[in-house]
Amino acid sequence: MLRASLRCLNQKVLYQDFPRARLVTLNNVKAHNALNMEMLERLMDLYMRHPAPETSIYVLKGAGNKAFCAGGDVVNLTTDKTYKTAQRFYYEEYQLNYHLMTMKSAQVALWNGYVLGGGVGISLPSRYRVATEKTLFGMPETAIGLIPDVGGTWFLPRLKHAGVGLYMGLTGHKLKGADVMHAGLATHFVPSAKIPEIEKALCEIRDASTVGALLDSYNVKDLPPYSLERDLPFFAKTFRKDTTMEAIMEAVTAERAADEIVEEAHRLMSSYSPTSLKLALEAYRRGCDMTDPKDAFALEYMMALRLAKDGDFVEGVRALLVDKDKKPQWSPKTLAEVTPASLETFFKPTFANQVAWDPVKPFPE
C-alpha cells in the first residue's frame, strides 16, 4: 500500500493524500522536472497501480518556481545502444498518457512555468489546466530529430484554431502566458502569486464536483491579446493536412520578410531534421482521421523506436543537449531526399519480436 508522505524529499516524485485529493509533485528541480524512468514508474504507481479513490481529485504540480515539467530525459534514451530503455520508457509513458485521458478522477494541472513535451503528455489530459503569466507551453521534439509524441498525433489536429497544432508541432513554437488560454489549451488563467493559495484550497476540497467553481473564482477574465491572432489566417491556409513540407517551406519563405512570427517559423524549420519534419506532417495527417487516441499512441510508439535506432534523434540530442555544438548533421540533409518509401519504414516495427503498444498490458520483462 502507498502511504501518504512528503518526507522522502530525495524522491523525484512526491505525493500526499488528503480526504478528497491526492497532491502529486514532480521533484526533479535541477532538470526542470523532466521525466526519467524512475519518475515514470512512480507516476504509474500513483495513477494506475495504486490510484486515489474515484471520489478524490488529483492535483499535479512541479517543484521549484521555473517549471511544471520540461519534457523527458531524452539523453538517457539515446545512450543505451540496446534500445531497451527507449522501448520500455515510450511504452509506459504512452500508457500513462492514455490512462490520464480516460481515468474517471478529475485532475488539476498547475502550469506554473515550463510545460514542454512529456510535461504536456501528463497534463493536457487533465480536466482542469491552470496557466499563469509564467507558463511556457510547447512541443519541441522536432528540434531534436523526434516527432511530437505523448499524444500529439491526437491532440495537435484538434486544437481550437485551424493550422495552429501543425504549426506548433513543426516549429516547436512555445506559447507564453495568456496565449495558452487563447489557444484553448488551458481552462483557467490565474496570477502565479495565487498558485499556493489555489493548491491549498484544492487539497482541502470536500467535494470533487466543486473544483470548477473554485477555479472559476480565481480565473482572470480580461486577458492580454493573443500574440498569434494576426497569423491565424496564414496558419489555416498554410499548415493543412493536405499539404506538403515543401509547400509549407515555400509559403513561409515568401511571407517571412513581412512577419516576425513567420520568420521564426522559417528559421526554426530550416534548421530541423528533414525526416522529422516530413514524419511529423504525416503523423498529423493520420491523426486527423483517427477516432481513438489509442491508435495515436500505437503509431507514435512505432515512430519513436525507429527514430531512436535509425533516424536523426540520436544526432539531434547530441548536437543540442550533449555536445551542444548546435550543428546537427541530419541524414538526409534535404526535404527532397526524404521519399515516401523511406517515410513508410517509420510505420513498421524496428526490432525483431517488437511488442505492439497496448494501453493496459505490462511491458514484457
pLDDT digits (tens, 9 = 90+) for 277-301: 999 999 999 999 999 999 999 999 9
Cα 323 to chain centroid, rounded: 24
237 found inside a domain: yes
Whether the predicted pLDDT of 323 surpasses 70: yes
Mean pLDDT of the chain: 96
Angle subtended by helix axes 164-171 and 274-288, to nearest 10: 150
The pLDDT value recorded for residue 365 is 81
DSSP 204: T
Whether the predicted pLDDT of 104 surpasses 80: yes
Whether the predicted pLDDT of 153 surpasses 50: yes
The pLDDT value recorded for residue 182 is 98
Cell of 50: 495504486
Q: How many CB atoms lie within 10 A of CB 352?
A: 5
146: domain CATH number? 3.90.226.10
Residues of the chain with pLDDT > 90, as a percent, come to 94
Domains held by the chain: number: 1
The pLDDT value recorded for residue 3 is 47
316 found inside a domain: yes
The pLDDT value recorded for residue 76 is 87
Whether the predicted pLDDT of 4 surpasses 80: no
- Of the pLDDT bands very low, low, confident and very high (cuts 50, 70, 90), residue 303 is very high
Query: Quick one: three-class SS letters along 130-176?
Result: EECCCCEEECCHHHHCCCCCCCHHHHHHHCCCCCHHHHHHHHCCCEE
Residue 288, CA distances (Å) to 25, 146, 199, 225, 283 in order: 33, 19, 36, 29, 9
The pLDDT value recorded for residue 311 is 87
Per residue in 171-217, pLDDT (tens digit) is 999 999 999 999 999 999 999 999 999 999 999 999 999 999 999 99
The pLDDT value recorded for residue 48 is 97
118 found inside a domain: yes
31 found inside a domain: yes
For the chain, count helices (H), then strands (E). 16, 10
The pLDDT value recorded for residue 257 is 94
Whether the predicted pLDDT of 169 surpasses 90: yes
Q: How far apart are CA 182 and CA 224, in angstroms?
A: 9
The pLDDT value recorded for residue 330 is 98
Main-chain phi, psi angles of 251, to 5 degrees: -70, -45
Helix (H) or strand (E) holding 43: helix 37-44
Are the beta carbons of 137 and 158 closer than 8 angstroms? Answer: no
Whether the predicted pLDDT of 5 surpasses 90: no
Q: What residues make up the domain containing 61?
A: 13-347
* Torsion angle in degrees (nearest 10) through CA of 57, 214, 29, 45: 0
Q: How far apart are CA 217 and CA 197, in angstroms?
A: 12
1 found inside a domain: no
32 found inside a domain: yes
pTM: 0.95
Residue carrying the nine cell digits 477516432: 291
The pLDDT value recorded for residue 1 is 40
The pLDDT value recorded for residue 8 is 53
Active site residues: 72, 118, 141, 149
**Single-letter code of the amino acid located at 247:** A
The pLDDT value recorded for residue 111 is 99
**Angle ∠(77,86,329) on CA atoms, nearest 5:** 50
362 found inside a domain: no
DSSP 35: B
- Of the pLDDT bands very low, low, confident and very high (cuts 50, 70, 90), residue 7 is very low
281 found inside a domain: yes
Closest CA to 168 of 278, 266, 307, 265: 265
